[in-house]
Amino acid sequence: MKVLVTGATGFIGSHVAKLLREKGVEVIALTREDTNTSVLKSIDVETINGDVRDFDSIERALKGCSQIYHLAADYRLWVPNPEVMYDINVQGTKNIMLAALKFGVEKVIYTSTVGVFAIGPNGETSNEESSAQMDDMTGHYKRSKFIAEREVSKFLDKGVPVVIVNPSTPIGTMDRKPTPTGEMIVDFLEDRIPAYLKTGLNFVDVEDVAMGHWLASLYGKTGERYILGNKNMSLKDFFQLLANITGKRPPAVRLPYLSVLAAAYINEAFSRVTNRRPRIPLTGVRMARGYMYFDCSKAIRDLHLPQSPVEKAVEKAIAWFQDNGYIASTKLRGE
């Protein structure tokens, strides 16, 4: 079997490409010309220069492929030019779906996000039926992915066999940018997090997320959405987990939400002048107002999604950040 993977150089995408190769699948990766593709070449993935915003390049890459794994996305909490994010996340997704329709592919696995779901009140879990409206979307990333899912639904009506997966907060190796979550881990290990907010997330091993994509191709039903997640944890408990692994002290001070929000407004206003990424992204603070907890039972039941210990995923992430120079001197407990 031959498949097209977009976003294969990204955090989740690189794990998906690696897993597919381990399963004996021939992988074609659509990559931009200025992207480092050495990791993909090391696992025998063929790369074709292109961009999801360029329909002709998608057509070139898709020839002979029976499935598409569409993971390419612009994921940032702060963007100086939001139009680029919408072009990639919305128009890019439309282009992939148009190509899938034209070539009659057998299945499309579309990677969305749990950010498109409504957040449960008072720490209650949300699931695939937790419908939200555009006004519920915080920041351009969530809005763009919300619009993109609507576009995907239109192509479902046209007969494109799409299965949607919604990863929560993945943790693990090869977080090269790093993602906002990976950056939070690095900041903790470099003693740059003196305090925390009252919020929570659903964490999952990125390798389980990759497996969830593969399982969705095998068992996922067209038109269905599956949350790929694992463990709901407060931010305080997550920092305590990092402390338990590394021997570092967790932040003991919980900051009032409104004071952090005010600081984020000031920081972002300064960033607009300097065009430098803010240390306190306003979108991130707004998202932290509620507990982003999710019920992953549908994917566990229908896709047989594995639930590897989040603690092990954190250990792997820390070791990878160490080995790749993201952390100056931190050592795991016991080293």
183-210 pLDDT tens trace: 999 999 999 988 888 899 999 999 999 9
Name the more confident of 267 and 205: 205
Per-residue confidence (pLDDT) for residue 7, from 0 to 100: 97
Q: Is residue 80 very low, low, confident or very high in pLDDT (cuts 50, 70, 90)?
A: confident
Q: Which phi and psi (to 5°) does residue 48 adopt? A: -125, 125
State percent of the chain over pLDDT 70: 92
In CATH, the architecture of 2-172+204-230+292-308 is 3-Layer(aba) Sandwich (3.40)
Q: What is the pLDDT of residues 49-73, one digit of tens each?
A: 999 999 999 999 999 999 999 999 9
**Residue 215, C-beta contacts closer than 8 angstroms, at least 6 positions apart:** 303, 304, 305
Instruction: Classify the C-alpha dihedral 201-202-208-209 as positive or negative.
Output: negative
Q: What pTM value is reported for the model?
A: 0.92
Assign residue 304 a region (left: φ > 0; alpha: ψ between -120 and 50; beta: otherwise): left
Mean pLDDT of the chain: 91
126 touches 168 (CB < 8 A): no
Phi, psi of 163 (to 5 degrees): -115, 130
